[in-house]
Amino acid sequence: MSNYIEQGKSFLEKKEYTKALEFFQAAIESMESPKDAHLGLAETYFAIGKFEKGKVSLFQAMALDPNNPQGLSMIQTYCLSEEKTILPPNQAISIGLQTKDVVVSIKQSHLGENHWVAEQKSGNTIFFRVESTGCIIEAPDNIGEWDGYRKPTGILEIPSEFIINGKQVKVHAIDENAFGGNKYIKDVILPEHLQIVGGFNCTKVSNLIFSNNLQIISPFAFNGTSIKQFHAPLSLTSIGRWAFSYCENLSDVSLNEGLAKINDYAFKGCPIQEINIPSSVIYIGENVFPDNTTIRLIGKPPKIKAANCHYSRIYIPEEYQNLYEKKSPWYKMELITY
């Protein structure tokens, strides 16, 4: 464990919170034990009542290690109370809370025959699993190609909350494959409280309106869709494996400061010419971008799989050149300073 983290913990125990924050931040910048550093930041922010900053740091730690006991304990303490509705990334489906299945359906809205809105109703098509802090949209058990279910077409709008059994329930996650196999949805409006999204690997989807609270994009979430651009919301911390792979029209991509992980093959097969990697990114998976993509890194060298040595051009900040030249496998690559 780094000296920065040890000192940060010492100051935290003494309730010298400003110094604790400084040392945990220094640990992150030095790339030493980033998970422990983010957990230290989160614990400090929670201690001084800055819950939003605490949750951001906690999510970054969980993106690195979804099963770490300290992080899960902090989630139970700070994120699962009645006042807070955030579930941990990658744990929303299996956190072990008592669940209850509720069936809802889709109806056409007053905006036109191709605009559909989910509603609570005795019926089928969209399924919610209700948990103590919110609900997750799931697929039918045997989704196939939506045989036996009404097929939403055109614009699909998922509301941010429902009233179920007299209780207001917020939608915080869309499960993997929730709409997989649907060939009719073209545009998707995601709910404002949504933090984890998956299940829109539908070939006709061409437009997405993202939630400003989105934390996690699940594996294969938008694989093979027809979208042309993706501008990551500021809240995003992790992009899953194959999330945007083989989106043949996706050429305009911008990533947010605060993003921690870009997992394997996330943008494989997309016609992306150039991409900026924010300084907050600490992990780049295998073959994330096409071979001919120009990569521009903003900060210090993140962890990267050696298979990424094939990128045509990799630009790095001149001030961090020594760090890149000493870190494997960066030193094996042809790097250009700016």
CA distance 47 to 41: 10
Res. 18: pLDDT tops 80: yes
CA distance 52 to 43: 12
CB 120 within 8 A of CB 138: no
Q: By C-alpha distance, which of 84, 97, 99 is closest to 195? A: 84
Tokens encoding 305 = 């799989």
Tokens encoding 246 = 């083989």
Q: Which residue shows structure tokens 């509603």?
A: 119
Portion of the chain with pLDDT greater than 70, in percent: 71
Tokens encoding 76 = 């139970």
Q: By C-alpha distance, which of 279, 325, 285, 331 is closest to 305? A: 285
Res. 335: pLDDT tops 50: yes
The mean per-residue pLDDT over the stretch 258-263 comes to: 93
Which is more confident, 258 or 89?
A: 258
User: Which secondary structure element, helix H or strand E, spans residue 23, and what is its range?
Assistant: helix 17-29
- Residue 331 is classified by DSSP as G
Q: By C-alpha distance, which of 141, 149, 142 is closest to 125? A: 149
The per-residue pLDDT for range 24-40, each reduced to its tens digit, is: 888 887 766 788 888 99
The per-residue pLDDT for range 219-228, each reduced to its tens digit, is: 999 999 999 9
CATH architecture of residue range(s) 3-78: Alpha Horseshoe (1.25)
CA distance 21 to 11: 9
The per-residue pLDDT for range 117-151, each reduced to its tens digit, is: 444 433 334 555 655 556 666 655 444 444 444 45
Q: How far, CA to CA in Å, does 1 sit from each of 4, 38, 48, 68, 280?
A: 8, 13, 24, 16, 21
CA distance 214 to 191: 10
Domain 228-338: CATH class, spelled out = alpha beta
Helix (H, G, I), strand (E, B) or coil at 71: helix
Please list, in sequence order, all residues whose beta carbon lies within 8 angstroms of the beta carbon of residue 221, skipping any fewer than 6 positions away.
176, 197, 198, 199, 200, 201, 240, 243, 244
The per-residue pLDDT for range 142-192, each reduced to its tens digit, is: 444 444 444 556 777 777 776 655 667 778 888 776 777 677 788 888 888
Which is more confident, 56 or 192?
A: 192
Which is more confident, 113 or 83?
A: 113
Q: Domain residue spans in the chain? A: 3-78, 87-216, 228-338
- Exposure b/e, 103-126, CB count within 10 A at least 16 = b: ebbbeeeeeeebbbbbebeeeebb
Mean of per-residue pLDDT scores for the chain: 76
CB 140 within 8 A of CB 91: no
The mean per-residue pLDDT over the stretch 90-115 comes to: 35
* pTM given for the model: 0.64
Given the DSSP bridges, would you call strands 283-284 and 303-304 parallel, antiparallel or unpaired? Answer: parallel
Res. 85: pLDDT tops 60: no
pLDDT band at 99 (very low <50, low <70, confident <90, very high): very low
Which of the residue ranges 84-93, 248-257, 271-280 would you say has the lowest mean pLDDT?
Answer: 84-93
CA distance 140 to 277: 37
> Secondary structure of 232-244 in the HEC alphabet?
CCCCCCEECCCCC
In degrees and rounded to multiples of 5, residue 238 shows phi and psi of: -150, 135
CA distance 171 to 169: 7
Given the DSSP bridges, would you call strands 216-217 and 252-254 parallel, antiparallel or unpaired? Answer: unpaired
Which of the residue ranges 41-55, 84-98, 193-207, 290-304 would you say has the lowest mean pLDDT?
Answer: 84-98
Task: Determine the Cα angle at 120 with ends 115 and 124, to 5°.
Answer: 80
CA distance 259 to 267: 15
